[in-house]
Structure formats: C-alpha cells, structure tokens
Amino acid sequence: MGRIFVVDLEGRTYKCKFCKTHLALADDLVSRASFLLLVGELAVLSFFLEDFIELLAFHCRRGKAYLFNNVVNITFGPHEERMMLSGTHTVADIFCCYCGQIVGWKYETAHENSQKYKEGKFVLERGRIIDGADSEFYIDTRPTLSDTEDV
C-alpha cells in the first residue's frame, strides 16, 4: 500500500472519532446553516421551532447524523440502493482514508423529487465523528488562587 496523504482543514472541523483525521468544516454543515437562516424568519413562530429542529435532524442506524456539502479524507464503498425513512436513495458508504472506519455515506441519487437536494451531499454519523472545538481546547474550570494567596 502507498503513502496516505491527508488534507488538514483550518477552522472549526469535524474529525474521525477513531484517528482524529479531519473530515469536514463546520461551515459545510448543511442542516445547521439552513437552521440558522430560517430561524430568523421563523422567530415569530417560535412554537414551531421544536418541530423544525426535528425536521433538520438526520438519523441513521447508530443515532444522529449531520448533512454536509463537502467532506475530505474519505474513500467510497460501492453504490447501493438503500431504503431510508425519507425514501429510496442510491448511496455509497464513506470511510476514513486513514483508519478505514465507516463514518457515514454519500447520497448519489434520490428517487423522490422532494429529496433531490441531498444528491451529492455527505452524511457523517455523529457517533463516529468528534467536533474539533470540543477536543482541541481545554477550559480549566478548577478554582484558582488569587495572586496574594499564591505566595
């Protein structure tokens, strides 16, 4: 096997839970971007907010998942027809290129017109990725001594 070259992303990233390889930028998160855009328009209808959030959430066999416009450092499995809650789709599983763990899937084709927006987009399973903001920064919450007590 040859040498593996990985792309390092700058900014807030999502990483493979198993090997910490960069997979996606937070800016490419489709569902969050759509939510923030529409929340401003729906502020008056805040009682519908919980239902709206539920519509944006993606779920898979292992729990929650996120929809992204772009993902890096992955390899693809074979295309297959898969019946999902939103209908039948042609998808390809995606794997971390570094450790080989499955991290989600790519929507190749949506067979229903209402689902066409998913075509060419990627789903990363929440249980298989980590948020770079959570893992890269450590906030010390222990109480500290003041300067005078430190002596």
Predicted confidence band at 38 (pLDDT cuts at 50, 70, 90)?
very low
Q: What are the strands of the beta sheet with 102-110, ordered from one edge?
A: 58-60, 63-68, 122-125, 102-110, 87-96, 74-84
Residue 69 to residues 12, 51, 72, 80, Cα–Cα distance (Å): 15, 23, 11, 20
Mean pLDDT of all residues in the chain?
77
The share of the chain scoring above pLDDT 90, in percent, equals: 54
151 has a pLDDT exceeding 90: no
pTM of the predicted model as reported, rounded to 2 decimal places = 0.71
CATH tag, 13-136: 2.170.150.20
Report the alpha-carbon distance of residue 67 to residue 94 in Å, rounded.
13
Closest CA to 93 of 71, 63, 117: 71
Residue type, 45: L
User: Which residues, 6 or more positions from 143, have their beta carbon under 8 angstroms from its beta carbon?
Assistant: none
58 contacts 29 by C-beta, under 8 angstroms: no
Mind listing the pLDDT tens digit for each residue in 80-110? 999 888 889 999 999 999 999 999 999 999 9
Report the alpha-carbon distance of residue 129 to residue 132 in Å, rounded.
9
